[in-house]
A and B are shown apart, each in its own frame.
Chain A
Amino acid sequence: MTTPSGGIPWRLLRGSASAVAGASWLAVLILVAAVLPVFVTEAANHQDLALRFEEPFGTGHGIAYVLGADSLGRPMLLQLIVGARTSLVVAGLTVAISALAGFAIGVLSGYAGGWLDTVLMRLADILHTVPSLLLALAVLYVLEPSITNLVLVLAITRMPVYLRTARAQTLELRERVFVESSRSLGATNARIMTRDIAPLVAPTIRTLAMLEVANVILAAASLSFLGIGLQRPDVDWGMMVADGRSYLASAWWVTVLPGLAVLATALSASILSNWLRAVEDPTQRGAFLSRSRRPAGAKA
């Protein structure tokens, strides 16, 4: 289900304007989040009460204040940049950890079967039964708010999706002839799992992980908004929205701007994963790529 090279077919991007826009936003954001925070963190946390609730799009106080200032006179633009790093790191780590752990445990569970499979699936059911925000709320209140704990809790609540998918595929794959022939040649179980089964499950997990990026960004923002994800001086977009809430009537930008950043990022990730699924699916690909060449007014 991947391209022969196994990579993402970037050259097909130009066929879709929304995918180009999404990819560009994410690329710029990743670049900004990787490079800038080192230089601007200090300025971002600089409080200047004279500039309290400075309105956005004014030019009097330099580029840092172009998006206004918050309740303590901190420049919004720089806060957003520092917050971008946190939001991206949390989302990236969460998706990576939950996908890899769910992948590994799912393949093991499906291949081993028996009591191990039963126990693991029951655990996944339990995790699935408690709504994720509720679980995170209960756990994070116990633990210290920190990026590590936020990532761990999010990764655990997100894992069952990968686990079930990887297990279901493994159950089907382990009965196939090529697995049988590996076994008759004397391959160990570990080798069959890693060499025969895992490579065939991996593409599905990757697609799922792409799909999950947007969900995780939103879930992480919700937790920070509820005030249980992070603590100052760490800052992310969800926390900024919460900060602005008390001043909603007088200073809209403190609430609206960070939320827009979450929206733009989650939307870009969704568009990109949607595009990737369409392009990688052989049954969809042809229709998807030829759609722009269809003569105007032609019937589908």
Chain B
Amino acid sequence: MSHITTVKTAFRLPDAIKLAAATLKVPLAEQVPVRFYAGPTPESYPYVLQLPGRYDLGFALQPDGTYTLIGDEEIFSEQENSRNQDARDHLGPQAQWLHREYQVGVAALVAQQHGYQMERLSREDGWTQIVLTQ
């Protein structure tokens, strides 16, 4: 039988953040500031993707244990420009590739814990399909 559950996700697992950074080939630093338009933040963040170019993208820990993204708004802009080009090249538009690779990382971690073989497929409609077999 099939049972389909749809989830709107949240960043929660540092190990999946690390896997995503490795897949995207972006260095992930710990406890460092985030670079914005006006320069680096005075405070440090638990995890920071150190992108080439002008901006970084950080993960700010919330009281509920999830991480929210912290970065210059131009990283999340639909408009491409010279300042956000490096971020878009590495993370995709509005950092969509980061979200996707984090989810793939979560699936990989759980699959490993529960003894699943994992196969990843990219569909023509833009969805990523992961097939797990025990």
Q: Do A and B bind each other?
A: no
